[in-house]
Amino acid sequence: MSHFGRSGPPDISDTYSLLVLNITFRTTADDLFPLFDKYGKVVDIFIPKDRRTGDSRGFAFVRYKYADEASKAVDRLDGRMVDGREITVQFAKYGPNAERIHKGRIIETSPKPISTHRSRSRSPRKRHRDDYRDRDYRRRSRSRSYDRYERDRYRGRDRDYRRRSRSHSASPDYKSRRRGRYDDERRHSRSPSRSVDSRSPARHSPSPRRSPSPKKSISPRRSPSPKKSISPRRSPSRKKSISPRRSPSPRKSPRDESPDYRSRDGRSASPRSVSPRGRADSSRSPPPRNSNSDE
DNA sequence: GTTGAGCGTT
């Protein structure tokens, strides 16, 4: 009975699924079983695993036989330290018992519903269960499993995923990604400019706006003190190649510079992103004039 | 050796 990962779900006639979050990536069902089984009859424990690596995704589903036991487990195990990690136990949204749960609260067979007066101290980041009723919390769930999975498989094959992407408008969620490690991953596969398609000729010139030598920008009449070095970016009008709003330190890569570095500079805090309104590419993306039909 | 903020399989 220690092995839960058998073929498919067991007899799920009257089971209540609990979602266990924040578990370590190495926590297995066998590790959770004794914990949850203490508070009730655990029917099954399922831990979704990554399709690629096969590792656990960091959450598990525990099926209880009775709702009251499940409720008790939620109340008792939620916020409990497991494997050095504070797990989060709550009722799952989907499952055979989903219809019996009303907004995260059990309607029947529940002597003491998940009252909100759980005096158990837990992490502050813990969100209220009531958030589920709105389902609006998904606004942040841009990718929970298939997103990164599909993207990964595409990455491994080819960049063709962009080609098919034009069939329908680009995914709005794709550009708003701000994950930590994922950001790093996609940055490699993602081109700096999406217009760098085969349609455009070799555009990657050796940086025409690349500022020559800062010393060259010295203006004879501008510098009263020849012994004093002139600030490179202080060039008045001599340098037309450089962009005035460009980063002050062209030698440093934008991603290499630390956030505090910009802060130190002063007013560089303003993001050099596109338009503040969102993605009005009108400034850099002129309307299709004549040719360049995407068909 | 690792991330994380997350709802599921035969």
- List, for residues A120-134, the tens digit of each pLDDT value: 434 444 343 333 333
The whole-number Å distance from A213's CA to B1's C1' is 44
**Lookup: tokens for A266:** 């002063």
CA distance A2 to A5: 9
DSSP line for A96-129: TTGGGEETTEE-SS-SS---S-------TTPPPT
Q: What is the per-residue pLDDT for A95?
A: 64
* CA torsion angle A223 A224 A227 A230 (round to 10): -30
Q: What is the per-residue pLDDT for A6?
A: 56
CA distance A44 to A62: 6
Single-letter residue type at A277: R
Q: What is the per-residue pLDDT for A64?
A: 92
CA distance A100 to A105: 9
Tokens 């460009």 locate to A246
Q: What is the per-residue pLDDT for A34?
A: 93
Q: Which of A49, A60, A283, A272 is nearest to A145 (CA)?
A: A49
Is any atom of strand B within 7 angstroms of residue A63's beta carbon?
yes
Query: CB within 8 A of A190, min separation 6: which ones?
Result: none
For residue A98, which nucleotide's C1' is closest to its Cα?
B7
Q: What is the per-residue pLDDT for A62?
A: 93
Q: What is the per-residue pLDDT for A199?
A: 40
Q: Which of A135, A140, A126 is nearest to A94 (CA)?
A: A135
Q: What is the per-residue pLDDT for A278?
A: 37
Q: What is the per-residue pLDDT for A186?
A: 39
Q: Which nucleotides of B are covered by protein (CB under 7 A)?
A: 3-10
Tokens 């995407």 locate to A294
Low-confidence ranges of chain A (pLDDT < 70): 1-3, 5-13, 95-295
In this complex, the residue with its CA at the shortest distance from the C1' of nucleotide B3 is A181
What share of chain A has pLDDT > 90, as a percent? 17
Chain A 95-124 residues whose Cβ is under 7 Å from strand B? 95, 98
Q: Are A43 and A65 in contact (CB under 8 A)?
A: yes
For residue A142, which nucleotide's C1' is closest to its Cα?
B6
**pTM above threshold 0.75:** no
Q: What is the per-residue pLDDT for A61?
A: 93
* pLDDT tens digits along A151-191: 444 443 433 333 343 334 333 433 333 333 333 333 444 43
For residue A84, which nucleotide's C1' is closest to its Cα?
B4
